Amino acid sequence: MDIVYIKELEVETVIGIYDWERKIKQRVNLDLEMGTDIRKAAASEDIDSTLNYKTVSERLVDFIQHSEFLLVETMAEQIATLVLSEFPVPWLRLRLGKPGAVPNAKDVGVIIERGARS
């Protein structure tokens, strides 16, 4: 299985459990690896034959900007569900970070894998 990836996608959103967090937008960042087969696109050089990372990125930015989650865990699960249901992706690995959430740490968050990897 080949992997198409998106690295360090940054989006502003409402995320957090504290009252003050519910009133502001904070930055989250993500890395996404998606299992796919690139051979058809490589042979044809046809963008419609591949998993278009621009289309996936635009969909994720729209989804995240318009969401309001309490936990990064919930956001990660919803992102994974969205990608697996809307794109031809049988497997993904997602790293979702919330920089600045913990003093003295550059970033904190979760890494999940979903789908059947072959």
Q: Which residues are catalytic?
A: 98
Residue 117 Cα distances to 36, 38, 51, 100, 114, angstroms = 10, 16, 17, 33, 8
User: Taking the alpha carbons of 18, 22, 27, 32 in that order, is the dihedral positive or negative?
Assistant: positive
Task: Tell me which residue of 83, 86, 85 sits closest to 112, measured CA to CA.
Answer: 83
Q: Which two tokens stand for residue 53?
A: 């990372």
Is 74 within 8 Å of 40 (Cβ atoms)?
Answer: no
